[in-house]
Every structure is written in structure tokens, then in C-alpha cells.
Structure 1
Amino acid sequence: MSNSEVLPLLICTETREKYEGYSRIAEYVSEKYPGGESQFLPDTQLDKRQQLINASLISYVENKVKYLNEYNLYINTRNYEKYTRKLFQHYFPFPMMYNQPLKFYHNAQEEVRMVGLTANKVGFFSMSGNLEEVIPETEYFNEANSSDVEDNSEGEDEVAITTLHEKQILANSKKKSLFVDFTSTTTKDLNKLLQPSHFRDPQGDETPSLWNEIKYLLGLITY
């Protein structure tokens, strides 16, 4: 529902105008409830020091609290299954409410991993950021597995992984991790530059629906 895919999202019930992100929501609250009606004040009524504190607070929320919220909504299995996923059926038609939660889940999973907020073996989570990448074991990687090749009575052709091959696997895994981090951060920075005023609501065949998805797959409509 967010045109620029920025959360959280506030929709005004009167005008249906969308306010995306913490800054825009704070501006709406300060304009909607000015003066003594609210503790929120617009930036025009703040001095330079207060504006700096305000910007620092929003930056802290976006870079710290945001990921804690994503962890609670998506990575926490019980919250995701019992609460978060059920909310999408109120916003997306069938079968979109099944696809979109997975998209947000994978995005949240990647962002949480990047800041170091992941579950460890004892069930707690770490904010250190120093994560050890878990690389699945390959066949005949360890000496114990290599000895099994000699005991193979069926005579099947088996190829053991050499030390060079092992290094290549580890290098490729690290490159893939760096590439994913780069694409995630780049996409996030580009989304911040998007202006909601440059987007419009979907019209006609652009509206998400199962029928339009089928027509698109059949080549009956193009975008």
C-alpha cells in the first residue's frame, strides 16, 4: 500500500492521503494537532538544536527500533504466524495475501541479518554485528567422510572436494553475501529518494488481482 515501499504507513481517514515513514507521520501529527493540543511541534517552531535532536531521534528510530520491530513482526515465528501474516488478508485480494507476506518476510530477514539481530543456538539474539556465516557441509569435506569413499563397495564414482575447491566454495559464499548486502542497502537508499507525489494509484489492468495476473502470464496485457 505504500507507494515508495516505506514503512510505517499512515492513511488519513478523511482525505485518504498516505504519509510514509516516521518523518512524514511526525509532520502530519504536528500539523493535525498544533499548539497545546499535542506535544508535537513542527520544525518551523524549533530552534537549530531542537531540530538536530529531532533528526537524531528519527535516525535512531529508523536504524535501531525499525529492525527490532521487524524482528518482532516477521522473524519471531509465533508473531508472524499468529498476527502479522493474518493482517495481509485485509489489504490484498486473493491470492496476493499469500505472496506479499513472504516478500516482506524475506526483506525483514535480510535486514535483520545485516544488523546482527539473529537468533543463536541458545535462543537469545546478538546486536554485535559479528555474525559467523553458516556454510552447509559438502560431501567428503571432513576426513571421516573421506574415509567412507574407500569403503564404498558399489564402486560408484565419487569425487572428493580438494582444498582448492573448498577455498573456492568459501570465496563464492562470501562474494554472494557481500552482493546481497550491497543490493539490499542500495535498494534501501534508492527507496529513500522516491517521492510519493511521483506515483499514482493502479488503474484498470494495473490493479493487483488474480484475474489480471492470469492475463499478464498469458500475454493478454503488458505493463
Structure 2
Amino acid sequence: MVNQINLWTSADHALKYLAQADSIPHRTEGEAVLLEHVPKTVKRILDLGTGDGRLLALLKLDRPQAQSIAVDFSATMLEAVKTRFVRDTTVQVIAHNLDEPLPELGSFDAVVSSFAIHHLTHDRKLALYTEIFQILEPGGIFCNLEHVASPTPALHKHFLHSIGFTLETEDPSNKLLDVETQLGWLREIGFIDVDCYWKWLELALLIGLKPNSSNV
């Protein structure tokens, strides 16, 4: 049976996550690798499931000129990201549930996401990856810093213990999928240079590039 639970419309759930976000072990390591791979010359960035805009704010430090769209559907998160970028006219905040196909947003040099896509059903993950490929400019990059499935139940339990959770207290909204399946999807869609560029237990950075015409 497909897990349809999604608690992210709850303000309490979103606020609890924000309170813990900075304490997720090794998170900054994954973010640092992501920042290394997004070119500083990008003109348009799309951040899917932006939360409070943490990742986009990091990207904007070295890319202040980039026009950016931050997408989320949690009212609490949307309020937080609007507050963060209230004085930044290069950032547009859009309310959208990633369970639904992306709206017409134009094309992007970089599409990023951080710990959001694992809340989608597996069929929707695959559909979203396809939509991302379609809206990337040739040579554009997709970076997904994600919560992925462990190969065994014991390793999953170990990961939860490492971040202060148990099987009973983990987020029921999670719909975790292994790295290999997702990398295979990205390659089948048409991304190149696809790999897991960084990983710590169930935290992984998946990256793929859209080919330039010269790569085809």
C-alpha cells in the first residue's frame, strides 16, 4: 500500500523541523559539496521544497545576481522563506505542492532540492525528475540533497539513532528510496555525469547534468 501520509501542512511539524535543521549531523558537509558544483555564473535557480530558504540563501552568497524561485507548500515554511528574502527582489516565492506537476516557471540553469523529494510517492519522484530535466537549460545542473533508504533495516535503525530518532518517532511522511534506483532513473531520463557525489548513511547528494548539444 502506498504511503500517502504528509504532515507538512502542520505548522507544528514544520516548526519542529526548523528547530532541529541546524543540528542534523554532517548536513553542512553535503551542502558544501552541492555549493561546489553549482556554477557561480548561473542566471536562474529553482529551489524545490525550499523550507525556510536555507539552501537558497547559501547559494545566493556567491551568486547574488541569480534570479531565483523558491517553491514550498507549507504555510509555515512559506512565511519563513518570505521573511528571509523580504529585501531580496531576485527571489520569488511560490506556493506549490510537489505532489502535483510543476507549474509553468520557465527554464533554469540549476534546480536544487534539500530533504524534500523523499516525501513524494516513488511514481511522483520519477515524474518530477522528468519535469526537472525538461525545464533545465542545456548544460544545466540538478542537485538533490536527499534523505534516502538504507540497504537494510539494521542500517536504517542505526541512522535514526544517529540523528536522535527511533522507528517509532521517525517522520511518517517519509517515502524513502535507495540511491541506485534514483541514479538509474536520472540516467534513463537523459541526465549525464550522474552520481552520488556525497553520502553519509541516509543523507545523499545526487547530481546530474542536462547535456549540451555538443554532448549529444
**TM category, shorter:** under 0.3
Report the TM-score when normalising by structure 2: 0.25
Report the TM-score when normalising by structure 1: 0.24
Q: Which has the higher contact order (CA 8 A, sep 6+)?
A: 2
Q: Which has the higher strand share?
A: 2
Q: Which has the higher helix share?
A: 1
